[in-house]
Amino acid sequence: MEYRPLKRPAVSTFAAVATIGLMAGCSVVGGEKPSGESITLVTHDSFAMSEEVMQAFTDETGISVTQVAPGDGGALVNQLVLTKDSPLGDVVYGVSDSFASRGVDEGVFAPYTSPNLPASAEPYLVGDLLTPIDASDVCMNVDLDWFADRGITPPETLEDLTKPEYANQTVLMNPATSSVGLSFLVTTIAAFGDEGWPDYWQRLRENGVSVVDGWSDAYYVDFTAAGEGGERPIVLSYSSSPPYTIADDGKASTAALLETCSRQIEYAGVIKGATNPEGAQKFIDFMLSERFQAQLPEQMFVYPINTEVALPEDWEKFAPRPTDPFYLSPEQIDSGRTEWIEQWTSLMID
């Protein structure tokens, strides 16, 4: 066998690749430091807000905003807890009620009450540490066309879901792996009490509900109205989902069952140890302003916490706010969550 020296073309190819690599590397790594006053906003990874609105904050206050989004609801709070000694930023937005008390107990928030707080937010306050910014309602959704085609009346209540005519029609999510799933577990606990909920789930199980692990999986694979070949016309989703199923005739092909909803609140708070606590407070004030609140439905699919703020037209028609959703406070959820999930898992999966 003969061997030969490394050929020149190979050397130059590798040199070229390395050079491109280094150049591209610089462009990725090079970060720009904002000049002047700034804050770092820590959010969950589904934060979205139009550039105009974000720019308006900077124009009004002279404070520029850097965003970090280290994960979804649970991961967000956990990261704040882990980094208490060396905080990730100044202000946090997107703490959900199911994880709020963990952050409160671990002392990661600094007290602040905004002068802009609307009356409709007051029932959801967590001491003076967290400010409610938006609400969303997790409800069962039904495929109206599917029921119309078969001449069956869609279900309306939690009880209906256990009736034989709706057998094998429901798909929902595991509360251990999905925040939406956890919300529905909370719904059943609020509705049937600490004693009664396992029995209700037993009946759901007997009626052939399917439990999957994530919302997208349930909605896009199993739900008849969204996927191709889905075969379950009842799915756990949001009260705000129907506007996204508006067909050419101007009507939504799905509807939320407003008697099956549970309310989730998302909070903002000043992070303890923030380098710019005043800036953080100003940002919380800004999130309660009408300008920011009015954008919440279209940008993040949630209701403004300020009920005086008008909803978009499609929402008024097809995603009205549930009038009397089930609700448990962050403390109640936090104290029960682990045990409920364990109990639920042994009931439904093991």
Partner 1 sequence: MSDPTPAAMPRRSRTSPLRVAVWLLVLAVPVVFLVVFFAYPVLTIVGRGLFEGGSLDFGAIGEVLSRPRTLRVIGNTLVQATVGTGVSVALSIPTAFVLYRRSFPGRKFLRSLLLVPFVLPAVVVGVAFRALLAPHGPLGFLGWDRTLMAILLALVFFNVGLVVRMVGTVWESLDPRAEQAAQTLGASPLRAALTVTLPALFPVIGSAAVVVFLFCATAFGVVLVIGGSQFATIEVEIWLQTTQFLDLKTAAVLSIVQFGVVILVFWLSSLMRGRQSPPLALADGTVPAPRLRLGKGGSALDRVCTGIALLTGTLILLPLATMLIRSFRKDGAWTLGNYVALGTRGSQALTVNVWDAAINSLRIAVDATAIAVVVGVTLALVLSRRPRNSGARRAMGLLGAFVMMPLGVSAVTVGFGFLISLDRPPLDLRSSLILIPIAQALVATPLVVRSVLPILNGINPRLHQAAATLGASPTRILLTVDGPLMLRSVGLAAGLSFAISLGEFGATSFLVRPDRPTLPIVIYRLLGRPGDGNYEMAVAASVILAIVAGTVMTLAERLQPSTSGPTR
Residues 190 to 249 in contact with partner 1, rule: CB under 8 A: 211-217, 219-222, 226-231, 237-238, 240-241, 244-247
Rounded CA gap, 301 and 237, in Å?
A: 12
Residue 78 Cβ vs partner 1, minimum distance, rounded to whole Å: 5
Structure token digits, residue 161? 């879901």
Nearer to partner 1, 112 or 146 (CB): 146
CA 220 to chain centre: 18
Of 64-72, 123-131, 201-209, 266-274, the segment contacting partner 1 by CB under 8 A is 64-72
Residue 119 Cβ vs partner 1, minimum distance, rounded to whole Å: 28
Of 46-54, 154-162, 187-195, 282-290, the segment contacting partner 1 by CB under 8 A is 46-54
By CB atoms closer than 10 A (0-12, 13-18, 19+), residue 76 is buried
Task: Answer yes or no: are the C-beta atoms of 286 and 292 closer than 8 Å.
Answer: yes
Nearer to partner 1, 66 or 116 (CB): 66
**First and final C-alpha spacing in the chain:** 61
Collapsing DSSP to helix, strand or coil, 217 comes out as helix
Q: What is the footprint of partner 1 within residues 106-165 (CB under 8 A)?
A: none
Task: Answer yes or no: are the C-beta atoms of 156 and 259 closer than 8 Å.
Answer: yes
Rounded CA gap, 224 and 123, in Å?
A: 37
Q: What is the footprint of partner 1 within residues 288-307 (CB under 8 A)?
A: 298-301
Structure token digits, residue 23? 């150049």
Nearer to partner 1, 55 or 216 (CB): 216
Residue 274 Cβ vs partner 1, minimum distance, rounded to whole Å: 15
Question: Side chain identity at 209, as an amino acid letter?
Answer: V
The count of residues interacting with partner 1 (CB under 8 A) is 81
Residue 117 Cβ vs partner 1, minimum distance, rounded to whole Å: 26
Q: Which run of H or of E encompasses 11?
A: helix 8-29
Nearer to partner 1, 130 or 256 (CB): 256
> Does residue 45 bind partner 1 (CB under 8 A)?
yes
Of 37-45, 151-159, 193-201, 266-274, the segment contacting partner 1 by CB under 8 A is 37-45
Nearer to partner 1, 128 or 213 (CB): 213
* Binds partner 1 by CB under 8 A, chosen from 35, 86, 153, 323: 86
String of DSSP letters for 184-200:
HHHHHHHHHHHHHHHHH
* Binds partner 1 by CB under 8 A, chosen from 69, 117, 294, 347: 69
String of DSSP letters for 122-144:
GGG-BTTTBEEEEEEEEEEEEEH
